[in-house]
Structures are given as C-alpha cells and as structure tokens.
Amino acid sequence: MIITEGEITFEIPDHLTITKKDEVFYNPKMKTCRDISLAVIQAFINKYYKDKEIKIADALSGTGIRGLRYAKELNAKVKVFLNDINPNAYRKILQNAKLNDISNIEVSNEDANTFLSRHFRFFDIVDIDPFGSPSPYIDQAIRSLKTKNALLCLTATDTSALCGRAKKSCLRKYLAVPLRSKDCHEFALRILAGYAMRMATKYELFLKPIFCHSTDHYVRVYLITDRGAKKADKTFKMLGYVKDYDGIKEVRNYGGEGFSGPLYIGNLYDSDIAKEALEIAEKRGFEKRVLKILKLIYDESKLGQIGCYDIHQISKVLKTSPPPMNEILSTLENNGFYATIAHYNPKGIKTNASLKDVIEVILKYNNRFER
C-alpha cells in the first residue's frame, strides 16, 4: 500500500494491526506527533544549529517515515541515521528512501542499544519513538548525544504506567510513583522528563526540558544537553513530589504517604522554541489540530504552573455546576490574570491566578443564576 505523509510517499504493509505482530510497524495516528516533531526540531535547529551540519538518529525506525521526513523536510544540512532491528523494516526503509530519492541517510539493521552504543557522543539529535516505553533505550541514547546543546526526543505510549493505572510498571520502568488522577497527563510528562534527567547525572550531564506534550495515547518530551558536574547537580533541585487533593495539587521536594514522584517540577518549556514551532507549523500549512495543540502549548509556556485547575473537579468539590471554560478565561483576564486551557485537558485551566481567585469566579458565575 502506497500512502503520503508530509512530503514523503512511502510503502507500508497492506494489513496493519498497529501491534508488534505487524510485518513492519507503522502507526498512522502518530502523524500529529511527527508533524509537531518537525516543527519543534526545526525551531531547535534555528536556535542552536544555523548553518551547521546536523546528525540525527532515528533509532527505532519502523517504515522509516519519521526519519525520512526529517531527512527531506527539515530546512537544514542534515544526515539522518535510521535503524531498526527488524530485517523487514530495514528493507522497507531502503525502499522508501529510494522511492523518495533521499540520499542524506544511513540505514542499519541492529538492536537499538547496539546502534546507539556504536555512536558515542556522536549525534546532535536522538529520537526514541518505541512501541511502549522508551526506558530501555534512554541510557544509551544519552551516551550517544553530544554533551552540549544536543536534543533528546522521547515518546512513551505506556501511559497506563505513567498515569498510575499500572503503578508497579511505572516503578520498574521509571523508578517513580505515578499520580493517579484526572490530571495525570502533565505529571506523566514530568515523570518521564525527571527519569531521563536522573539517568544523565551519572555522566555529569544536565538535561533540561524545552518542549513536551501529552496527546492521544502517548506523551513526548524534548530535552537539551549541557555538561559538567555542577550543572548535573542542579537536577536534584528540580525534582520533587506531588499529591492530589481532589484537583488541588501539593508540590514539595520530599516524598511521603500518597505523594507521586520523584518527578521534574521546573518549567517544561522554552517559550521561544514553543513560539517558533507554532510559526513554522503555520507557514508549512500543518493541519488545524497540530496548530491548536502548538498554540495552547505556547500559551502554557508563558506560565511556570505545575498542573492545572480542573474546573469540573473543583466544581464537584464545591457542589456547584462548572461554568463554561470561555467564561472563566475571560473573567480571569478581566480581573488582570493570565489564563489558558491546558493542552492535555479541555476542562483544565492554567493561570497565574490563585486557587482562591478561580473559586471566586466559579461561585460568582453560578450565583448570578441562583438569585
């Protein structure tokens, strides 16, 4: 079957189950993720690698669609190294590269960790996009990156673990206790980022998140490298624990009964990267859903808020009806606050207003109709 995504025309198996049983793995639902990746990585290149050659690793390539799109669509001098342990995938990547007349690539047929370990401190960008958890690959991915201003991109589809439905799985894979709540998706991002940051410290490296999102069935984080023991030590000041009290979050730097963590408690975004990624996506005519996600994330990036105020959950505690989201946003803005809907929760609001301010808006809105 021949299909098109972005600027790439490529061949996939005729029958897809979107499981490991497929002859070659390809998930059409991840197109949104790949579009966002192109915009974010292009913004990253524009900021850190203008007029420089960039080496990118796509360590778990499947059909090769992600890596081939990087090779063809990124506006930069790039060489993409695509790898997959599946010999059928290896042959499919070569076929698809030939189909699109792409030559700025190198293709290998190895275990991902073997592939990464052969390229010690070699890559400017490493993308780990597995079926399930990226945890088994993070250590070697870090070792394969350059130690200054390189980018680690991680996708995790095991959200049952990261969002608390499979607590023991999260402990095994990420050495963290997950948060089981309606607002778990941001904390899934923070657990994944915090785990990668901790793994980097033993190499005297500091990883810092510059972008992330939780969409559909997966979470994805982007972290930039820096080197030195003192910088790596900063990691531990950026880790903490969180507890959920019916939509109200308590964050502290030590654990305890009912607390989730350790997880990253700093700012998840570089606002300049978020802004430029949005502008790039607009110029390239990406689909409306991609633009909506990137716009919400850019709005979020202006705040350092941990978690969001889930209006429906708070209203339930208050035993009142939740007002329309736009009504809350406009009222908060009229009161001099900044407010936006969380990209991962259409019922959640991120704002520099206090919980008390948000509660007052909810109660005042409903009081108008109770008189």
- Distance in angstroms (rounded) separating the CA atoms of residues 154 and 219: 8
Residue 340 has pLDDT above 90, yes or no: yes
- Give a yes or no: residue 158 inside a domain: yes
Residue 115 has pLDDT above 60, yes or no: yes
- Give a yes or no: residue 302 inside a domain: no
Residue 170 has pLDDT above 60, yes or no: yes
DSSP, residue by residue, 161-197: HHTTTTHHHHHHHHSSBPP-STTHHHHHHHHHHHHHH
- Distance in angstroms (rounded) separating the CA atoms of residues 164 and 331: 34
Number of domains in the chain: 2
Note the pLDDT of residue 21: 63
Q: Are both 360 and 245 inside the same structural domain? A: no
- Give a yes or no: residue 299 inside a domain: no
Residue 130 has pLDDT above 80, yes or no: yes
Min mean pLDDT across 7-11, 55-59, 126-130, 328-332 is at: 7-11
> Can the peptide bond before residue 262 be classed as cis, meaning omega within 30 degrees of 0?
yes
Sign of the C-alpha dihedral computed for residues 325, 352, 290 and 185 taken in this order: negative
- Distance in angstroms (rounded) separating the CA atoms of residues 94 and 102: 9
Q: Are both 326 and 273 inside the same structural domain? A: no
Note the pLDDT of residue 367: 82
Note the pLDDT of residue 12: 74
Instruction: Return mean pLDDT, the chain.
Output: 93
Q: Are both 271 and 323 inside the same structural domain? A: no
- Give a yes or no: residue 364 inside a domain: yes
Q: Are both 102 and 145 inside the same structural domain? A: yes
- Give a yes or no: residue 182 inside a domain: yes
**Closest to 221 (Cα-Cα) out of 351, 52, 40:** 40
Q: Please tell me what DSSP assigns to residue 24.
A: S
- Distance in angstroms (rounded) separating the CA atoms of residues 261 and 251: 10
Q: Please report, for the domain that includes residue 10, its CATH number.
A: 3.40.50.150
User: Domain containing 347: what range?
Assistant: 308-370
Note the pLDDT of residue 29: 82
**Closest to 183 (Cα-Cα) out of 237, 238, 239, 242:** 242
Note the pLDDT of residue 180: 85
Q: Are both 6 and 110 inside the same structural domain? A: yes
Cα dist from 111 to 22, 107, 180, 370, whole Å: 18, 13, 34, 64
Q: Are both 41 and 109 inside the same structural domain? A: yes
Q: Are both 91 and 187 inside the same structural domain? A: yes
Q: Binding site for S-adenosyl-L-methionine: residue ranges?
A: 34, 66, 84, 111-112
- pLDDT tens per residue across span 200-229: 999 999 999 999 999 998 999 999 999 999
Question: Could you tell me what percent of the chain has a pLDDT over 70?
Answer: 95
Q: Are both 216 and 326 inside the same structural domain? A: no
Phi, psi of 253 (to 5 degrees): -95, 10
Is residue 173 within 8 A of residue 135, CB to CB? The reply is yes
- Distance in angstroms (rounded) separating the CA atoms of residues 255 and 240: 8
Q: Which residue has the tokens 């808020």?
A: 305
Note the pLDDT of residue 183: 73
Cα dist from 268 to 221, 300, 301, whole Å: 9, 9, 7
Give mean pLDDT, residues 130-157: 97
Residue 370 has pLDDT above 60, yes or no: no
Residue 23 has pLDDT above 80, yes or no: no
Note the pLDDT of residue 245: 82
Residue 248 has pLDDT above 80, yes or no: no
Last residue of some domain: 228, 249, 283?
283
Q: Are both 333 and 260 inside the same structural domain? A: no
Q: Please tell me what DSSP assigns to residue 35.
A: H
Residue 19 has pLDDT above 70, yes or no: no
Tokens of 8: 């790439």
Q: 292 CB contacts (<8 Å, ≥6 apart)?
A: none
Residue 311 has pLDDT above 60, yes or no: yes
Q: Please report, for the domain that includes residue 342, its CATH number.
A: 3.30.56.70
- Give a yes or no: residue 62 inside a domain: yes
Note the pLDDT of residue 366: 86
Q: Binding site: residue ranges?
A: 34, 66, 84, 111-112
- Give a yes or no: residue 294 inside a domain: no
Q: Which residue has the tokens 């796509």?
A: 58
- Give a yes or no: residue 288 inside a domain: no
Residue 10 has pLDDT above 70, yes or no: yes
Q: Are both 178 and 326 inside the same structural domain? A: no
**Confidence band (pLDDT; 50, 70, 90) for 22?**
low
Residue 244 has pLDDT above 90, yes or no: no
- pLDDT tens per residue across span 250-298: 999 999 998 999 999 999 999 999 999 999 999 999 999 999 999 999 9
DSSP, residue by residue, 317-348: HHTSPPPPHHHHHHHHHHTT--EEEETTEEEE
DSSP, residue by residue, 70-95: HHHHSSS-EEEEEE-S-HHHHHHHHH
**Confidence band (pLDDT; 50, 70, 90) for 3?**
confident
